[in-house]
Structure 1
Amino acid sequence: MVRIEGGTFTMGSEDFYPEEAPRRQVRVDSFWIDEVPVTNREFARFVEATGHVTFAEIAPDPKDYPDMLPGMDKPGSLVFRKTSGPVDMGNPGNWWHFEFGADWRHPLGPGADIEELGLWDHPVVQVAYGDAQAYAKWAGKELPTEAEFEYAARGGLDDAAYAWGDELAPDGAMMANYWQGLFPFANTMADGWERTSPVRSFPPNGYGLYDMIANTWEWTCDWWSQNPGAGSLAKKSKGSCCTIANPRGGKLKESFDPAQPKIKIGRKVLKGGSHLCAANYCQRYRPAARHPEAIDSSTTHIGFRCVVRGG
Structure 2
Amino acid sequence: MSEPAALPPHPDKRQLLLVTGMAGAGKSTALAVLEDIGWETIDNFPVRMLKRLVTMPDEARGPLAIGFDSRTRGFVPGDIIALMKDLAGRPDIALTFLFLDCAGGELERRFNETRRRHPMAAGRPVLEGIAAERELLEPLRRWAEVMIDTTALTSNDLQGRIRELFAPESREAALTLTLSSFGFARGMPPLADLVFDMRFLDNPHWVPELRKQTGQDAPVGEHIERDPAFADAFARIRDLLLLLLPRYAAQGKPYVHVAFGCTGGRHRSVFTAERMAEALRAAGFSPTVRHRNLGSRAADAIERERR
TM-score range, shorter chain: under 0.3
Q: Which has the higher helix share?
A: 2
Higher relative contact order (CA 8 A, sep 6+): 1
Structure-2-length-normalised TM-score: 0.21
**Looking at CA atoms only, which structure, 1 or 2, has the larger radius of gyration?**
2
